[in-house]
Amino acid sequence: MNIEKAIAGWHKRLDTVTYKVESEFGPLTSEQLNWKLSAEKWSIAEVLEHLNLVNASYEKILTDVVNGTADMGFTGRIGFIVKFLGDMIYQSVEPSRAKKMNTFPIWEPVQSNVSVEVIAEFKKHQALIKQLIAENKPLLEKDIVIASPANRYIVYKLRKAVEIIVSHEERHLKQAMEVKSLIP
């Protein structure tokens, strides 16, 4: 696939998620954003906080890639592991996947009563992620390998990482929309 088309596609999908987050959740009150069905379930605000944490960790990796300081670890040199792990992580974050997944502890929402500023913070992260994807164009073309920000032994190609980021957001947008539909 042409890398310019791929980047344009990712940007469009990220813009769609950003627009939906702003239009669907922006008008909600703090109480509505933080409402949850049960203690085990996440609120809309916690979903957005989770996405902000994930995006912040990927922003560091993408910045390191641009600066030439990213480390792919020793597992990044083993082709079948790179493909296997990339495909496995991608499948786990696909929006159509119905099975609930537990997140890595570094991406757990830090608080249960999240400020409405979580939406503005989300928009900032989206803009930076888009910028970093564009800045990484030459390395996306080279198909370099990166390590996951959650675990340095989990490695995948940079292109797969971007697809994971975007699909992960789409999955959680769907989750947040389901929570919104249940708010009394």
Domains of the chain: residue spans and CATH: 3-182 (1.20.120.450)
Cα separation, 184 vs 180, whole angstroms: 9
Q: Are 51 and 125 in contact (CB under 8 A)?
A: yes
Sheet strands (E) in 94-175: 145-147, 155-157
Per-residue model confidence (pLDDT) at position 111 = 65
Per-residue model confidence (pLDDT) at position 88 = 74
Structure tokens at 126: 């989206």
pTM: predicted TM-score of the whole model, two decimal places: 0.88
Per-residue model confidence (pLDDT) at position 158 = 92
Task: Give mean pLDDT in consecutive 10-residue pieces for the chain, a chain of 184 residues.
Answer: 92 98 96 92 94 94 84 66 74 70 66 83 97 93 87 89 95 95 94
Cα separation, 35 vs 44, whole angstroms: 7
Q: Are 168 and 11 in contact (CB under 8 A)?
A: no
Per-residue model confidence (pLDDT) at position 90 = 79
Per-residue model confidence (pLDDT) at position 85 = 73
Per-residue model confidence (pLDDT) at position 162 = 96
Per-residue model confidence (pLDDT) at position 115 = 84
